[in-house]
Amino acid sequence: MTPAPAAAARNTSIVVGGESKQEMKSKRVINGYVFVCSKSTESECFKESLFGSGKAYGPAVLRIKRGDVLFLNNLDKDILYGIFRAASDGGLNIQPEAWHGKYPYQVKVEVPTNMLELSNAKRTLRKVKWSSNTILSGDRLAYILDKFAYEASSMGGLLLKRRLVLRDGTNENDDKNEVPAIEATTLWYFPKQSYGASPKGDYKYSGVTPAPVIYNLIWKYTNPGDLVVDPMCGSGTTIDVCTAEKRRAVGYDISPVRKDIIQGDARKIPLEDETVDMVFVDPPYGDNIKYNEHPGNIGKLPSDSEQYYDELEKVIVESQRILKKGKILAWLIGDQWIGNEFTPVGLKTYERLSKHFEPVDIICVARRGQSSHTEEWINRSRRLNFYLRGFKYLIIVRKT
């Protein structure tokens, strides 16, 4: 069975119940999710009172809370079943043996006694712009619930419609229910530094890491509960993303800016050998940005010096030591053009990484919000025959 909850809900939110407005204000907002099945997997869904999904839709499944509204879309029959309620929070391997382990992101469901069926499911879901990984709320969820209420009216089910009350106003944050899609190519562009309702890191921090970079890495290479370490944690983006996606995280920085970041040097990580499931590193790209006054800051070294790469290699060796066998180190790095001189920082870093790890892939992450990407600098680059930096390397390697 392949479910598919997912991506951004913008309108009003649904509250289920016949309570007064005052009582409704204190209740949790209910979201909706659509899971997908086929003729061959439908029976197990109902028999086990369990819906499941593959890893591609895991981010949305983990956002399901007990009491949320669920639907089941049989693709072969073009039928939408409902209305189900989540009997548990979404989780990983609630019943590991279900579907022979093929769909490990799961939620227990309450199967209604009088289950309803909507034909032309594809048309209904297209109407609310549903796609894989979509979280339904507000008007979109109300539309589907009203379709079921109309279907139920022939059975005296108009009460269902009366009990669905749209909350006044709209979500304060349009991105509250955002579940980013997992990238499929080696070219990544993220128009925003963060995602979702809560900030991930501090977008004002010099050289802040784009949160979707870490989001994609942990969903590609880790599972909920795994330990992720960021030895150069900056403003704490890795910690915030891991918390949101139910991973454990430890962040170190030579000059911490938050209480949950541990003061420490990335060249001497205070962890036991082979205890970590993934390491993410976004180091200074040389001495072009002033990060802090700490004398041991690698960002005080120019990227055209061998000492800079010697110090980075110490971080590489420590990362290799703490990683479990077969696990991933992801390294975000950008080249430099300073004083009419180009330094291929990414390629030089890759040379050092390849001494200790086997290559997995290289991603091109488009730079956004660059201070140099102004009309003045664009004209200057054309006149003086140089290129502005347009991307960073995301080098992914594995401990053998």
Residues 348 and 210 in one domain: yes
Residues 146 and 208 occupy one common structural domain: no
Going through the chain in order, the beta strands assigned E by DSSP cover 14-16, 32-37, 50-53, 69-74, 79-86, 91-92, 105-110, 116-119, 135-136, 164-166, 187-188, 227-230, 248-253, 262-263, 276-281, 323-333, 336-338, 341-343, 358-366, 391-398
> Is the pLDDT score of 161 beyond 80?
no
Report the candidate in 47, 100, 79, 57 with the shortest Cα–Cα distance to residue 147: 79
Inside any domain, residue 311: yes
Residue 2 lies in a domain: no
Same-domain check for residues 201 and 160: no
**Whole-number Å distance between alpha carbons of 70 and 138:** 15
Q: How far apart are CA 201 and CA 205, in angstroms?
A: 8
**CATH number of domain containing 210:** 3.40.50.150
Q: Using one digit for the tens of pLDDT, what is the confidence trace for 218-262?
A: 999 999 999 999 999 999 999 999 999 999 999 999 999 999 999
Q: How many independent structural domains does the chain possess?
A: 2
Is 361 inside any structural domain? yes
**Banded model confidence at residue 369, pLDDT cuts 50, 70, 90:** low
Residues 52, 154, single domain; the answer is yes
Lookup result for tokens 């951004």: 8
Residues 218 and 130 in one domain: no
- The verdict on residue 100 lying in a domain is yes
Give residue 135's domain range: 14-166
Indicate if 88 and 148 belong to the same structural domain: yes
Tell whether 298 and 152 lie within a shared domain. Answer: no
Instruction: Tell me what pLDDT residue 104 has.
Output: 96
Determine, yes or no, domain membership for 9: no
**pLDDT tens digits along 21-71:** 444 444 567 889 999 999 999 999 999 999 999 999 999 999 999 999 999
Question: Is residue 40 in a domain?
Answer: yes
Bridge partner list, 366: 391
* Co-location of 202 and 146 in the same domain: no
Is 59 within a domain?
A: yes
CA atoms within 13 A on the CB side of 12: 11
Last residue of a domain, one of 132, 166, 200: 166
Q: Quote the pLDDT of residue 176.
A: 60
pLDDT per residue as tens digits for the range 268-292: 999 999 999 999 999 988 767 777 7
Residue with tokens 């309570």: 19
Paired with 364 in beta bridges are: 187, 393
Q: Are residues 86 and 228 in the same domain?
A: no
Q: Are residues 297 and 327 in the same domain?
A: yes
**Rounded distance, CA 33 to CA 60, Å?**
8
* CATH number reported for the structural domain that contains residue 117 in this entry: 3.10.590.10
Check pLDDT > 80 for residue 89.
yes
Q: Does residue 220 sit in the same domain as residue 337?
A: yes
Residues 157 and 290 in one domain: no
Of 397, 381, 398, the residue nearest 389 (C-alpha): 381
Q: What is the pTM of this model?
A: 0.85
Of 1-10, 90-99, 128-137, 383-392, the least confident: 1-10
